[in-house]
Structure formats: structure tokens, C-alpha cells
Amino acid sequence: MIKIISKLTFYIVVGAGVLGILSFGADKFNLALAQNIDDSGVSYPIKELGNCADKSECKTYCDKKENQGACLDFAGQKGMMKKADIDQAKKMLKLAEDGTNTPGNCRGEDECDAYCGGTAHLDECVDFGEKAGLISPEEVKMIKKTGGKGPGGCSGKKACDDYCQNEANLDECISFAEQNGMMTAQEKEMIKKTGGKGPGGCKGKEKCDAFCQQENNFDVCLEFGHENGMMNDEEYAMAKKSGLKM
């Protein structure tokens, strides 16, 4: 729903294209599994996960590298994780199996964010992302062009998100994105029109996604998307008819 606004920080930092995948290793996957397994409707013991008898045993089973492929498949079959997250995690598993090390041998979200979040290891982190097929050559070119820094000299996804979600910095962030080919003139006008805010006044991809995933906000999100050119009349009519979430 708010995908255009998120472009303000997507290419600015390595984290948008690489860190989210680097950090999606066993730690983050097992956290997702632990949080969602009891809500998935499965019954213990779980045959697919080594007949684990409870959440703790299942997490222990999936902590082992040799079991992570099976755990990812199970999570996908039960709808416990998004397909994009599973695909990213499988890429990381394949890299590990091939003996490819992450930048600085970082493991987990905190370590990889600390290592790749600044500019000191920019080339290493970007080259890894390109070699692993995690980011496109176009994204690599853009990241290197900006030097991994965004508007106001921000560095790192959180810092740039915080900077560009401040209304006082909106024009600067939009100009930066336009000058670096991150958005079209039409997208620029749309963001200026909305003040960088989404339906219900939400700011940022995560908050707007969360807002629009709530059923009682469906209509306001749908109308916002249609009114601001995020969907054409045909898409609007189809979403209205089917009740699809944004």
C-alpha cells in the first residue's frame, strides 16, 4: 500500500536490499517458528520436524543446520512465514552449504546490521549481495552511487527511515530520491500530495502494512490507493469486489 513511500530509503542503504536477507538466518527463522507454531493449528508431535513434542523441542530441532531446509518447507506449507521470507532464507542456506561466508561472518540481525549498516564495509556487503543474487545490478549501481548514505547523510535503514519520516525532511528526501532515479515524477507528486503519509495517517511501510491488514481498515486503504493513483479503476473494482487486502 505504501510501497512508493518506502522507495525513499530502499536504495539509500544496503540494509534495504541486503541486510534483511543477511539477518534472516537461523536465529530469525526460529523466532518466527516459535512465535507462530502454536497458532498454526498443528498437533504435536510433528512428524515433519523430527516428531518434536512441543515448541521448545521444535526450535531445538530447527536450530540444527541440517534440519533448516525441512523446517522452512514446513513453515511454508503451514503458512507460518511469507513465501518471500522463505525464499530468502533458502538462499542463505544454499550459500552456507556452498561455503560462502556472510560479510564479516556476521550472524543474526544485530551483527549484520552493525557490520553492514554503515559505510566502512559498503563494497564488501554490496558485492556479497550481488554475488549471491540477493540484489540486482541496478540496485548495486544505485547503492554505490549514493555511497550508502541518504538525505542528511543518514546511514542505515533505521536512521534513514527516521529521518525521512520526519515531515520537516520530506522535501529533501523526495528530491534525493528523484535525483537518484528512485521515483518517477508521478510518484513524487503523489507523495507531496499525501505529505508522505498513508491511510489513517500511517508512516512507513511496516506501520502502513499493519494498518491495512486490519479488516476494519480495508475500505479506507482501498479508497486511499485509488484516489492517489496506486491502482487503476480495474484493480480498484476487482479489490472492492473480492475484498482483497492491500
CA distance 101 to 185: 40
Q: What is the pLDDT of residue 48?
A: 92
Instruction: Specify the pTM.
Output: 0.53
Q: pLDDT band at 243, cuts 50/70/90?
A: low
Average pLDDT over every residue of 154-159: 75
Whether the Cβ atoms of residue 194 and residue 228 lie closer than 8 Å to each other: yes
Q: DSSP E strands: which ranges in the chain?
A: none
Quote the cell numbers at residue 129.
549481495
pLDDT at 1: 35
Cα separation of 177 and 230, whole Å?
18
Which three cell numbers, joined as nine digits, stand for 214?
Answer: 486490519
Highest mean pLDDT range out of 69-73, 154-158, 202-206? 69-73
Q: Which of 35-44, 70-79, 158-167, 215-224 has the least mean pLDDT? A: 35-44
Counting residues of the chain whose pLDDT is more than 90, the rounded percentage is 5
20 pLDDT more than 70? no
pLDDT for the residue numbered 39 = 66
User: What is the per-residue pLDDT for 155?
Assistant: 74
State how far the Cα of 139 lies from the Cα of 210, in Å rounded to an integer. 27
Query: 241: Cβ–Cβ under 8 A, 6 or more apart, which residues?
Result: none
Instruction: Decide: 144 and 126 in contact? Cβ < 8 Å.
Output: yes
- Which sequence spans correspond to the domains of the chain? 26-106
For the chain, give the mean pLDDT: 77
Closest CA to 219 of 193, 196, 200: 200
Cell numbers for 85, please give them: 521470507
Does the pLDDT of residue 21 top 90, yes or no? no
CA dist., res. 12 & res. 164, Å (int): 11
**DSSP SS3 for 171:** helix
Integer-rounded Cα radius of gyration of the chain = 20
Cell output for 25: 538466518
Helices 3-10, 205-213: inter-axial angle, 10-degree rounding: 160
